[in-house]
Chain A
Amino acid sequence: MVRTRVVVDTRAPRPRTATSPTPRGRLGRPVAAVLAVAVGLVLTGCGSDDPLTDPRRPGGPLEAEPFVAGDLTGTLAGAGASSQEAAMNAWIAGFQTINEDLTIAYDPVGSGGGRTQFVEGGVDFAGTDAPLDAEELDLAADRCAGEVAELPLYVSPIAVVFNIEGVDSLNMSPSVMARVFDRQITRWDDPAIAAENPDVELPDLRITPVNRSDESGTTENFVEYLHETAGADWPHDPSGNWPVAGGQAAQGNSGVVQTVNDGQGTIAYADASRVGTLGTVAVEVGGEFVGYSPQAAAQVVDASPFAEDRPASSLVVALERDTQAQGAYPIVLISYSLACTTYEDAGTAELVREFLTFVASEEGQERSAVAAGSAPISEGLRERVVEVVDQIS
């Protein structure tokens, strides 16, 4: 309280006489500024640290039942997709608050590394952007002495962002978007774009598409979307590497967003949590334009069937990118959690089961939504996941 008074005191204009400038008066201003910042920090530090119960949380504070688990102990090791890293850290932090003597480590070595380490028995669970292929499924069956569980626990919308002064939102059909990213449409005031955006004043400006320079799941999912929806307008095959050579490129989501911000007339795809103040594209689904949102992203997952010819515990979603479902946002990245349905060690099995139950729970999904901008999975999908997780023994 004393501090606050000092701030008020020194901020007020002090009457100073020319004959006696006090040293305090000279120092007053910078000191006051520092104190004001310090007090500000102290004040914002008050209240709960938990983002889920914060009243400023979009949609109001979470009122879900607090998750109750036993007092588990031991260690659990995981590795895999770096896309899940932020979410996984939030899950681990949340789960370790409940079980203080438990240690969980997640090494974001990449999807491929995670799958390899998992089937070789190096880690207890893994995260991967791509489901196991046939050969890996065999290896995993050996490693697990049972079935492998693939659980779609991280659903992240990919936003198409652009930087045009004065424009916040644009509509694009898959065909137009494909031609923009394939550099067939090169100017923003192209009639094809204008036809879908009658209310927007488009500038006479060159379009600069920006892509990821490193191999990434974000690229792969975005290219898959264009490949499946744009038909002949997108002549490239799906790949984790951007297929159109000779354009602006940057490393990682943050690099791409930085590049879009630095340029004028730039457009790119990036993890939705990184959008910031950039304009975003609403994509055409079933004759309507849908902007990205967690709900819309979860909806496309619900509208898609599970992949066939896989073990019963493998919940791999065969995404229908060309879905016509109302209000679904089709450009999403699904990252899976890998686990065994049977572990040799009953203790490990219990830890994995409880951890994945937490991850799939409403609280777990909310935590990743806050930390990583992912879309919480729907109630229907949660039921299917919990069914599988309960079998882990």
Chain B
Amino acid sequence: MSSTDQQPTRPAPPAGLRALVERRTSRDLAGRLFSATATGAGALILVTLAAVAVFLVVRAWPAMTTPAEELADAISWIPEGTTLLGYVGPLVFGTLLAAVLALALAVPVATGIALFISHYAPRRLASPLGYVVDLLAAIPSVIYGLWGGLWLAPRLLPAWQWLADNLGFIPLFREPASTPPRVIMTVGVVLAVMILPIITAVAREVFLQTPRLHEEAALALGATRWEMVRMAVIPFGRSGLISAAMLGLGRALGETMAVFMILSPGFTYSFELLQAGQHQTIAANIANQFAEANPLGVSALIATGLALFVITLAVNTAARWVVARRKDFSGAN
């Protein structure tokens, strides 16, 4: 753009050249228009992000500036003697716990599925399987939530009871397991199912990108298929796998309906995964309390939403950092 602006004035060109110049100016106009539209579209993302952040801060402000005692008086579901931070704390803890549980369950399985599709399955099986995984990723989360809450959760009870009976000495699985299993462990399983397709889809794409030469070199050195995967595919795909996991984590952090429908909420910093009424996530809590909240209550809920926004940003930034750091060692370049 700058080069056209600074074009010095010249003597009138001959007729043939003039036609060319005219065409170029009109082409230039189209180019400028396109450039402006693209820049605008790019800026729109930033504007949206800023608008969300501003909205959250402005609407959360009344709750953040009200003294703790007044806040507890005005909002019936904030217990006496609890500050806003004291209210948000257990929610943040519950949100992270549920998401981390889901990730811990989903990533190994997703990696396995992705490796199977990319390197183990016969070609005739691999492409339909990949297609099915993409299809699973497209199912709305509320459908998973309904299925998880109404069908899967009741069937998990025997497993949780077994865990509590046999591993009850570990505080994580303190017995007795609650019935019905409306506990954070169940939420973790359902969230894992929900984020499995997206992690698998991304991981499969990444594993497929492994340079053919790396793989063949490994095989030529006498590596078995498993050793080839370990030496060539996984190191190459590690940063991609991490971004896939972070995508899944983002979805798990913000998931509302499934948690809302499964979990018996409670506000503690408890690691007892099989006990009902100990945990709650930010998103599910907003859905639960919003309907009957008074203005200050809505403000407090938006403050918790602000916390979720910050967590998600932090998670994504951390993921970028990890990916950027790993890129140099991945062997991709």
Contact = CB atoms under 8 A, between A and B. Distances in A.
Given A112-B294, A215-B76, A250-B182, A206 B264 contact: no
B292 A259 contact: no
Chain B interface size band reads 20 to 34
Nearest to A214: B288
A213 B76 CA distance: 13
Max chain A C-beta neighbours (<10 A), residue from B176, B178, B179, B267: B179
Contacts of A240: 76
A240 B289 CA distance: 12
A246 B294 contact: no
Given A82-B291, A110-B291, A241-B77, A266 B179 contact: yes
Nearest to B183: A248
A110 B180 contact: no
Nearest to B150: A258
A120 to B, nearest CB: 13
A264 interface: yes
A266 B292 contact: no
B97 to A, nearest CB: 16
Interface in B245-279: 260-261, 264-268, 275-278
B277 A246 contact: yes
Contact of B291 (A206, A210, A214, A239): A214
B174 to A, nearest CB: 13
A111 B266 CA distance: 25
A305 interface: no
A1 interface: no
A246 B291 CA distance: 22
B95 to A, nearest CB: 16
B31 interface: no
A110 B292 contact: yes
Contact of A213 (B180, B278, B288): B288
A246 B289 contact: no
Given A214-B289, A215-B76, A249 B180 contact: no
Contacts of B278: 246
A248 B267 contact: no
B76 A239 contact: yes
A201 B261 CA distance: 34
Interface string B64-78: 000000000000110
A292 to B, nearest CB: 24
B154 interface: yes
A251 interface: yes
A235 interface: no
Nearest to B280: A213
Given A240-B76, A247-B264, A206 B180 contact: no
Contact of A208 (B77, B178, B261, B294): B178
Interface string B292-305: 10100000000000
Nearest to A264: B179
Given A110-B292, A246-B266, A208 B76 contact: no
Contacts of A82: 291-292
A250 B291 contact: no
A266 B180 contact: yes
A347 interface: no
Contacts of A206: 176, 179
B234 to A, nearest CB: 41
A245 interface: yes
Contacts of A251: 260, 288
Contacts of B265: 213, 249
Interface in A229-268: 239-241, 245-251, 255, 259, 262-266
A110 B77 CA distance: 15
Contacts of B294: 112
B292 A248 contact: no
A214 B292 contact: yes
Interface in A186-211: 206, 208, 210
A241 B261 CA distance: 19
A112 B277 contact: no
Interface string B143-166: 000000000011000000000000
Contacts of B268: 245-246
A216 B284 CA distance: 17
Interface in A17-46: none
Contacts of A259: 180, 182, 264
A208 B179 contact: yes
Given A112-B292, A208-B178, A265-B179, A249 B76 contact: no
Contact of A248 (B77, B153, B180, B291): B180
A35 B270 CA distance: 56
Contacts of A214: 288-289, 291-292
Interface of A: 82, 110-112, 206, 208, 210, 213-216, 239-241, 245-251, 255, 259, 262-266
28 contacts: A82-B291, A112-B294, A206-B179, A210-B264, A214-B289, A215-B76, A215-B77, A215-B289, A215-B292, A240-B76, A241-B77, A245-B267, A246-B266, A246-B275, A246-B278, A248-B178, A248-B180, A248-B182, A248-B264, A248-B276, A249-B265, A250-B182, A250-B264, A255-B261, A262-B153, A262-B154, A264-B179, A266-B180
Given A215-B76, A249-B264, 7 more contacts: A206-B179, A213-B288, A245-B268, A246-B277, A246-B278, A247-B276, A262-B154
